[in-house]
Every structure is written in C-alpha cells, then in structure tokens.
Structure 1
Amino acid sequence: MQSITLDVQPRETGKVATKAVRREGLVPCVLYGTHTEPVHIATETLSLRPLIFTTETYRVAVSVGGEDYEAILKQVDFHPVTDQPLHVDFLALTPGEDLTMTIPIHLEGTARGVKAGGALSQPLNDLQIRALPKDIPGHVSIDVTALEMGESLHVSDLALGDAITVLTDPERTIASVTAPKVVATDDEEAEALEADLEGAEEAPEATEDA
C-alpha cells in the first residue's frame, strides 16, 4: 500500500461542534483502533478526495496532538443529495497485527479469447484478504492475456505469496471469456419464416372419417 499524508486538526465533539466544523468547510472524522482510543479530528474535503474517489487502498499518515498514526480509511458517510462526505472513520493500524481488508482487483492485458471475438466479463471486482499492514497491496493485478475462449480464472488460481491469506471463496470466478451470442439477421429470419410457410403448404390435408 502506498501512503498518503493527511492534514488534520483536532476538533470538539457533540452536535453543535460538529455542525460548526462543517460550516467551516471541514469534514468531521474519527480515528480509532484496537489499541487506540478514539481521536476526533477534522480535515478539508479536498484532502479526502484521493482516498475516497479511487479504486486503490492507501495507508493514511496522520499527526495530531503530538502523536503520529498510521491508519486506513474505514467508512465514509455521504450526504444523500450532494454526495459530499459528512463523516469519515479511520482505523489505526497496529504494527505486527494482522488486518482483514477488501482490496480491488485490476485486470491487465487483452485476453486471447477476446482477440478471437469473445467477450471478457469480470464478476468479481475485489478480494478479501488478511495480512500484516506492511504486506497489504493497494490492489491485486491479474494478467488475463493467456485466457482463451471459454476459459475462466478463479480465486484459487491466484498466487499472492505466503504473507497474504485470501479469505474470498476459492471457487469464485474472477474473469471469464465467453463466445459472442449469435443474433439472427433480418434475412435469416425471413428465410426461416418462408421455409415454415412452404412446409405448411406441402403438408397433406387431414381427412374426416366417413
């Protein structure tokens, strides 16, 4: 994971204080962890954009009250109309302690099956893993170049190393290449209809018993 330094300032708690923070154009945040008491902070909305509007996972470096923290973005509450962040939770990291996270999957390359006319689909966009914070990648890159028509790539096919434990079901499909659906043209449909009509005309008429 790459690291981003976030400029923050301490803030007061409570509804009145929180509203005052927002009126100043800041976003109220809280940082907490297994061995960290909650630290109430605030930061500018623009400072949060690289963390929120991305498919990457980042470590966040925060300094407040003379203390330095390493954290990850845990949760963001958005305004239902404007989509502006209203509140952010940060989870403080503990060195030497495993962390369970969901990280994005990035597909790279053009599959051979796609070059042959197939379509690539990606039903699984992220992966749940457990590892030490220092071993967690910002994303998982998967090369699909060798994927042929009709082939699939599953979680069980991944090799992320001994430092990372994959928690996602190994049978889940990450990507697959399927043959394109054959759509009948207007001429083909007309020929099929004409054949049906000719067959109906040539069929013998039923006779009634005397």
Structure 2
Amino acid sequence: MAEKITVKGEKREVTGKNVNRRLRVEGKIPLIVYGGGVEPTSVSADLRELAAILRTTTGVNTVFSLDVAGATDDVIFQDRQIDAVTGRLVHADLRRFSKGEKIEMTVPIHLIGEPEALKEEGAVLSQAMREIKVLCEPAKTPDSIDVDISSLTSEHSIHVSDLKFGEGIEIHDDPETVVASIVIVSEEVLEPQIEVGAEPEVAGEDPNIEEDG
C-alpha cells in the first residue's frame, strides 16, 4: 500500500470573500473540514498539494492526512468547487472520519472482455450503470469495479447482484438493477421516398390531365 499523503493546513480565524481571494493569490485555497463529532473547521492548504491528490488514480476517493498545528486527521474530499474558466480548484469541503467508520463512496464500473454475442447482427452493448455507491471504510474503497462481460449473451443481463465486492463493502442499490446488457437493434422500416424533383400526386387527380392556363 502506498504511503499516506500528508497535507499541511492552517486554521482560518477570519473568513470571507476578500480573505479567500488573498489565499488564492498566495497559492492556497479555503477548506472546511466536517465530521468527526466536532464543529466544522475552517482551514487553508496549498493548492498544488490538493490538486496533486485529485490527479492520482484514486482521485476524490483518496484518503489523506490533514495536519493543522500538529493535530492530524484522516480526511477525504466531500465536495469541491472548480473555476469554470481556469479549471482550477478554488474551494473544497473535506470529511473527517475516525478509524473503522464507513462512509458512502462512489466507485466507477469498468466492463472488460469482448462478448461473442456482439458479433451478432444488430448487437449493441448497453451499459446502464457506469458507477455505483458503496458504503465502506475510505481506505478500503476499490479504485473500480471490474465486470467481466466475456460470456454475456443477448438473452441475459448483468445485475448489481452479479458484481463482486471486497470484504466489508456494503451495497444499497437494488440487486436487480441492470448494469449491462446486449440488445439487438432491428433495422427500421423506412418510409417510401419521393423521387427528387418529382411532384407528389394528389388523391383523386388524374395525372394525365394538363392544367389549363
């Protein structure tokens, strides 16, 4: 297991838009830390360190340590605000948790394998779920749920109940929810096309009679 990342934070005694603007100029961003049975805490931390965490393979699911004046807590991103123009992180909420505590996490679902059924005429793979919420200890959150669809046929579907999870992970979705399936798309019957340049006939009109004029 990779060594846990530690981010240094500073408690913010004064808050507000002007203060937050100055923090961003200094390369820091405002944070609010929730959870742990204590009141929310306003802190600031280095933007580069937090952005580096978001770029890791685990991204927002990364558990890291926040050190504020020597007091260290395990935290995880709960929410974040990204500047629409620059794409930079400008604010984040962190969730503080105690050892053994389970919280809801979002995990992507990856389909692997190539079903033979996709070679059938009109066969199309449909992935109805691309991520799933799990309840677990953040440190035990899987990077993804890999689903082998090699044996999937058009007569069957993969449901939530078919997914494989590690020990200590709870799923609250309906077990019968469809994750992936192969559907057969039939060709649509096209309406007869009128020849380009030809005028449509009007019912009751004799096409051999020329119009006076």
Matched letter for residue 126 of structure 2: S
Change in CA separation of 1:146 and 1:4 when aligned onto 2, cut-off 3 Å: farther
2:143 to 138, 143, 146: 138
- Report the 3-state secondary structure (helix = DSSP H, G, I; strand = E; otherwise coil) of the residue aligned with 1:171: coil
- Structure 2 match to 1:106: 110
**After the TM superposition, which of the residue ranges 43-52 and 102-111 deviates more from structure 2?**
43-52
1:168 aligned onto 2:173: yes
Matched letter for residue 111 of structure 1: P
Deviation at 1:189, TM superposition (A): 6.3
Deviation at 1:182, TM superposition (A): 2.2
Deviation at 1:39, TM superposition (A): 4.9
Deviation at 1:154, TM superposition (A): 0.9
1:70 aligned onto 2:74: yes
- Structure 2 match to 1:14: 15
Change in CA separation of 1:50 and 1:180 when aligned onto 2, cut-off 3 Å: farther
- Report the 3-state secondary structure (helix = DSSP H, G, I; strand = E; otherwise coil) of the residue aligned with 2:100: coil
Change in CA separation of 1:6 and 1:96 when aligned onto 2, cut-off 3 Å: closer
Query: Aligned-pair RMSD on alpha carbons?
Result: 3.0
- Structure 2 match to 1:128: 133
- Structure 2 match to 1:206: none
Using structure 2 for the length normalisation, give the TM-score: 0.73
**After the TM superposition, which of the residue ranges 5-14 and 122-131 deviates more from structure 2?**
5-14
- Structure 2 match to 1:88: 92
1:179 to 176, 180, 184: 184
Distance 1:110 1:61 in 2: 41
Deviation at 1:94, TM superposition (A): 1.1
Distance 1:173 1:98 in 2: 26
User: Residue by residue, what CA displacement relative to the aligned partner does 1:115-148 show, whole Å, maximum 9, x if unpaired?
Assistant: 4452212111111221233432222111111111
Using structure 1 for the length normalisation, give the TM-score: 0.74
Change in CA separation of 1:82 and 1:163 when aligned onto 2, cut-off 3 Å: same
CA contact (8 A) 1:103 1:127 kept: yes
- Structure 1 match to 2:5: 5
Name the one with the larger helix percent: 1
1:25 to 13, 24, 27: 27
- Structure 2 match to 1:197: none
CA contact (8 A) 1:105 1:127 kept: yes
Matched letter for residue 36 of structure 2: T
Give identity over the alignment, percent.
27
- Structure 2 match to 1:40: 43
1:157 to 162, 184, 187: 162
Matched letter for residue 129 of structure 1: V
Matched letter for residue 5 of structure 1: I
